[in-house]
Amino acid sequence: MGNAPTAWASEEPTQTVQHRKYLLLDRRIVERTKNVDLVVGKVKKHPRNPLFGEDKPWEVRFDNLYPNVIWDDGEQIFKCWYSPFVIDAAYKTTPPSERKTTSYAAVRRALRKQGKGQREMGVCYATSRDGINWTKPLMDIHPWEGRKSNLVLVGPHGAGILKDSREADPQRRYKMFMAEKCVSVAFSPDGLHWSEPVPCPQIEARADTHNNAFWAPELRKYVGITRNWAGQRIVARTESDDFLHWTRATEVLRGTVERQTYAMLAFRHADVYLGLLMILDASTDRVHCELAWSPNTRDWERIDPGTPLIANGGKPRDYDWGTVYAAAPVVLDHEVRIYYGAGNGTHSNWRDGFLALATLRPDGFASVTAPLAGGEITTKPLRFSGNRLAINYSTSAAGSVRVEIQDAEGRPIPGFTLEDCPEIIGDQIERTVSWKQGPDLGLLAGKPIRLRFVLKDADLYAFQFVAK
């Protein structure tokens, strides 16, 4: 990117924008840049990884796991729904001693030719008080071979589960978006006892991926993310007013034949939509997680393509060396948690599967970064309420951040020039910016202003205006 116009600086006409929080990955707010790059955030893999594995008789192969994890504030627990294969003919007919000499894909092909290649997914349920130590409760909802299990359904493929806080009907509080013969939906009052699937053939999607859906308040619609096929795997989108009647799925994102978009988990965060994008590398048969964003759920762009947000493990047979399949994140006050299905073998071979966890700083999905030589980013005109500017940033020991406030025409406002702003150093999630005359911006509230950030060996993730 350097001194050239950047890929994320907006090409739209200059306009005044106003959000509750501004992520620096949002090109709608960026007017111009100099000598900075937009890079994905740095995750930390939890030292307790993997959190759990395949330890029940019905957990034959976690495969991609397709986890869905939420923090239920009412019940004060983490809830996880995940989708293992409960039936897999290849595993049943090939003992572990023979798996070193033949590939999983080869066994599956041979069984399919014989009409014996049956595979079937189930949906399992687990809970945790801290999100680290998980319990798989044994229930009578869907017994397995006459015994209690943590299965809540058998049959759906790639089930995405949403707890819908805006739903008035308590019997539809939990919603499932899945593939079962065709894309289908189901409803539940508690996330455990589910209605019969309702087919939605009008979506017309392949849907053999981690299907997921969410409410988009700007559109006043539910949006579903699924998969179709066009010589390669592509991300497709559908929408609905009522979660029952959906539009035909249309393509919104694709990679290349060599690096295919296998699955995308989409969610709303800080007035933008983000996607955790799983990339299948055809040359290595491994899967990692990248980042994408959208202003409207329809137009998607990848951030720093080719650079993982969650990378594979570095050594063969590491718990996530072969595959990473992320869930939509759990956003907490002190961190962002991204749970993911991990595999220690490649995508189309034998592998052991696990649930794992990676974390980010709050709003840390991506940052604008500048070298020690320095760089700048200037916003479009913004209107704000409140009287303080807070930034989420980090610097090296020799680095710094300074902020200048300009009027709508780009002229520095006296008292808020770059020279009036002392250098900001360190690493803080919500640091109030101050100028020589103080931090109070009350006289500028409601007026169009620009922010010019000057960075030196620093990362800037987000900013917001607050009342203090």
pLDDT band at 18, cuts 50/70/90?
low
**Both 297 and 356 in a single domain?**
yes
Question: The domain that contains 425 carries what CATH number?
Answer: 2.60.120.260
pLDDT per residue as tens digits for the range 429-442? 999 999 999 999 99
Assess if residue 5 is contained within a domain. Answer: no
Looking at residue 9, its pLDDT comes to 58
Assess if residue 88 is contained within a domain. Answer: yes
**Both 118 and 220 in a single domain?**
yes
**Both 27 and 63 in a single domain?**
no
Contacts 24+ apart (CB under 8 A), 230-239: 230/254, 231/257, 232/256, 232/257, 232/260, 233/209, 233/260, 233/261, 233/262, 233/280, 234/261, 235/261, 235/263, 235/264, 235/275, 235/277, 235/300, 236/205, 237/297, 237/298, 238/183, 238/203, 238/205, 239/297
The mean pLDDT value for 58-67 works out to 98
Domain that holds residue 452: 22-40+367-466
Looking at residue 15, its pLDDT comes to 57
Question: The domain that contains 169 carries what CATH number?
Answer: 2.115.10.20
Q: Which residue has the higher pLDDT, 344 or 19?
A: 344
**Both 372 and 229 in a single domain?**
no
- Domain termination residue (choose one: 360, 378, 400): 360
Looking at residue 20, its pLDDT comes to 82
| Summary mean pLDDT of the chain | 95
**Both 76 and 207 in a single domain?**
yes
pLDDT band at 11, cuts 50/70/90?
low
- Domain termination residue (choose one: 360, 380, 408): 360
What is the distance between the alpha carbons of residues 326 and 289, in angstroms, rounded to a whole number? Answer: 7
**Both 226 and 329 in a single domain?**
yes
pLDDT band at 239, cuts 50/70/90?
very high
- Whether 6 shows a pLDDT value over 50: the answer reads no
Assess if residue 76 is contained within a domain. Answer: yes
The mean pLDDT value for 165-181 works out to 97
Structural domain count of the chain: 2
- Whether 77 shows a pLDDT value over 90: the answer reads yes
Assess if residue 14 is contained within a domain. Answer: no
**Both 144 and 114 in a single domain?**
yes
What is the distance between the alpha carbons of residues 138 and 88, in angstroms, rounded to a whole number? Answer: 22
Its pTM stands at: 0.95
Assess if residue 318 is contained within a domain. Answer: yes
**Both 86 and 209 in a single domain?**
yes
- Whether 202 shows a pLDDT value over 50: the answer reads yes
- Domain termination residue (choose one: 336, 360, 384): 360
Looking at residue 12, its pLDDT comes to 58
**Both 335 and 411 in a single domain?**
no
**Both 92 and 33 in a single domain?**
no
**Both 207 and 307 in a single domain?**
yes
pLDDT band at 16, cuts 50/70/90?
low
Which of 1-10, 63-72, 190-199, 368-377 comes out lowest in average pLDDT? 1-10
**Both 36 and 57 in a single domain?**
no
Assess if residue 273 is contained within a domain. Answer: yes
Assess if residue 207 is contained within a domain. Answer: yes
Assess if residue 2 is contained within a domain. Answer: no
Looking at residue 136, its pLDDT comes to 98
Percent of the residues in the chain that have a pLDDT greater than 70, as a whole number: 96
pLDDT per residue as tens digits for the range 300-343? 999 999 999 999 999 999 999 999 999 999 999 999 999 999 99
